[in-house]
Amino acid sequence: MSPKQPRVVAELGRPETPEEIAERKAASSARYRGSKTLVNLVAAMLATLGIVLVVVLFVMRADPAPPEPIDVPAAAADASAALGTTVVSPDLPEGWRANAAELRDGPAGIAQWYVGWITADDAFASLTQGVGADASWLAATTRDASETGSLDVDGVEWTVADQRDMDDPGNLAWVAWTQTDTSTFVVAGTASDAEMQALVEAVTAEID
């Protein structure tokens, strides 16, 4: 039986030399390893994306923790101590919840105590107390609201500006203000007449 003859390579027109055979096999091995590396890279990327997707879905579905309720009386006590004068903390009907209670830098450099509430009817109401406030502070805080009426609550006269018929009154749809020797009080909001008057009465009860 005659020995097996080397395979003739068509491109060469002759059998491959041992060196060419070695080079061909090395090139084939390199291509194989390259393809495996690409497959592994794609698999790793898909696995990473899967992990990220699971984390995102978990975070999105997790129920956010409810915000801590704002302690208005405690905040008012701190503000009073900081200002050296009493700021009011009105006692409001059940269902009202504060969303802010803080000292702020008001117009004309006037320090002001601010409290915002969501009312029982899910409307908005606020109190701003300007300590030592002047006419320019009041004009800026009420945005030059024009008087449309007044309220007398236990002998305290409040000026009222009902601006609900304006195109865009914002949170100043209804505004009322009064002054004492030391402070100016502005009550404003988007709530009903009954809820806004309830806030005015609660503030009046706290005014010295």
Q: What is the pLDDT along the chain (208 residues), one digit of tens a residue?
A: 555 566 655 565 566 677 766 677 766 766 766 666 767 777 777 778 778 776 766 665 555 665 678 999 999 999 999 999 999 999 999 999 999 999 999 998 999 999 999 999 999 999 999 999 999 999 999 999 999 999 999 999 999 999 999 989 999 999 999 999 999 999 999 999 999 999 999 999 999 7
pTM of the complete model: 0.69
Closest Cα to residue 176, out of 164, 185, 168?
185
Domain 72-206 belongs to what topology? Phosphorylase Kinase; domain 1 (3.30.200)
Q: Is 105 helix (H, G, I), strand (E, B) or coil?
A: strand
In sequence order, which residues have a C-beta less than 8 Å from that of residue 32 and are 6 or more positions away? none
